């Protein structure tokens, strides 16, 4: 190999994986199961941690990453995923309207960086697939879950979409990045309804490992009611009432050292452990440039 070819190869090679400490313990336990990272949207650190975990386990075999974007956009994600590395970002923005428009911390710069990181790995030969799973993907699915109480119909659709994608290939690892409520393995209340979150509907309890985000505080990007605003419960909330920006985040009750933890005593009955990120920073909505 000539010096020039070697230099070009090194310049385009993916960066080494840098997963959180104790990732091997989680990977060994999660082999052949569903591993859920239950995040608070809008941090830079959570998507980065998931990217580096997927990077590491992709060395062991095929990986599916399930992301909390509308299931109706999954075809667009697949077309973008098939693009070359140089065209990937532009393809995402062209195919998925949420990029560049969504302001609530989901379509963040960190989420975009996570996908770009993994797309480079995929393009270099790693077997990494993605699926957008959020909500009902069509009218048939909406009808199938219409009888479930309140939010549970949404949770059931999430679970069905992840399961369906996971059955498309012999994946060694299935990794889900989703909001913390959906990742909970015990019933909860949303509005006036007691519901089962997605993690309860995905598979048998022993086939699902759910980790809760743990932080030392900091900031995250989210949309909240403007400070001091009084609202009339009988009237809808409008865009003018919402302020989307970096907000302070309170540290977890028990702040853990950065790393992955399989310990069901941390959040008894709700999660199987934690992914601890230390101090977090806000990630603003992604921009194409």
Summarize the confidence of residues 178-190 as an average pLDDT.
96
Residue 5 above 80 pLDDT?
Answer: no
3-state secondary structure of 11: helix
Residue 11 above 70 pLDDT?
Answer: no
Residue 3 above 70 pLDDT?
Answer: no
Mean pLDDT, the chain, whole residue set? 94
CA distance 25 to 263: 11
Contact 111, 46 (CB under 8 A): no
Summarize the confidence of residues 268-278 as an average pLDDT.
97
Q: 193-195 and 188-190: which strand pairing?
A: antiparallel
Distant-in-sequence, close-in-space partners of 278: CB < 8 Å, separation ≥ 6: 45, 215, 216, 257, 258
3-state secondary structure of 227: coil
**Secondary structure, 3-state, 190-248:** ECCEEECCHHHHHCCHHHEEEEEEEEEEEEEEEEEECCCCCCCCCCCCCHHHEEEEEEE
Q: What is the CATH number of domain 18-219+251-280?
A: 3.40.50
90-119 pLDDT, tens digit each: 999 999 989 989 899 999 999 999 999 999
119-148 pLDDT, tens digit each: 999 999 999 999 999 999 999 999 999 999
CA distance 210 to 185: 7
Q: Domain residues of the chain, as ranges?
A: 18-219+251-280
């Amino acid at each position: 190999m000539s010096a020039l070819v070697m230099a070009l190869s090194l310049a385009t090679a993916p960066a080494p994986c840098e997963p959180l400490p104790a990732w091997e313990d989680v990977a060994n336990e999660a082999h052949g199961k569903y591993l859920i990272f239950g995040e608070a949207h809008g941090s830079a650190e959570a998507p980065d941690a998931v990217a580096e975990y997927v990077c590491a386990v992709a060395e062991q075999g095929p990986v599916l990453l399930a992301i909390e974007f509308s299931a109706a956009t999954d075809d667009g994600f697949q077309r973008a995923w098939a693009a070359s590395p140089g065209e990937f970002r532009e393809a995402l923005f062209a195919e998925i309207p949420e990029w560049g428009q969504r302001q609530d911390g989901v379509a963040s710069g960190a989420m975009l960086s996570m996908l770009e990181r993994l797309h480079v790995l995929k393009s270099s030969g790693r077997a990494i697939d993605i699926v957008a799973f959020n909500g009902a993907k069509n009218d048939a699915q909406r009808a199938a879950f219409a009888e479930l109480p309140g939010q549970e119909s949404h949770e059931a659709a999430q679970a069905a979409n992840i399961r369906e994608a996971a059955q498309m290939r012999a994946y060694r690892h299935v990794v889900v990045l989703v909001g913390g409520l959906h990742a909970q393995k015990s019933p909860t209340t949303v509005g006036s309804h007691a519901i089962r979150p997605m993690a309860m509907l995905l598979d048998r309890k022993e086939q699902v490992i759910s980790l809760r985000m743990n932080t030392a505080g900091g900031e995250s990007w989210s949309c909240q009611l403007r400070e001091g605003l009084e609202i009339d419960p009988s009237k809808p909330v409008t865009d003018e009432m919402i302020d989307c920006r970096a907000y302070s985040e309170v540290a977890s009750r028990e702040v853990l050292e950065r790393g992955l933890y399989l310990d069901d005593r941390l959040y008894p009955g709700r999660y199987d452990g934690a992914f601890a990120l230390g101090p977090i920073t806000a990630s603003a909505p992604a921009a194409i440039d």
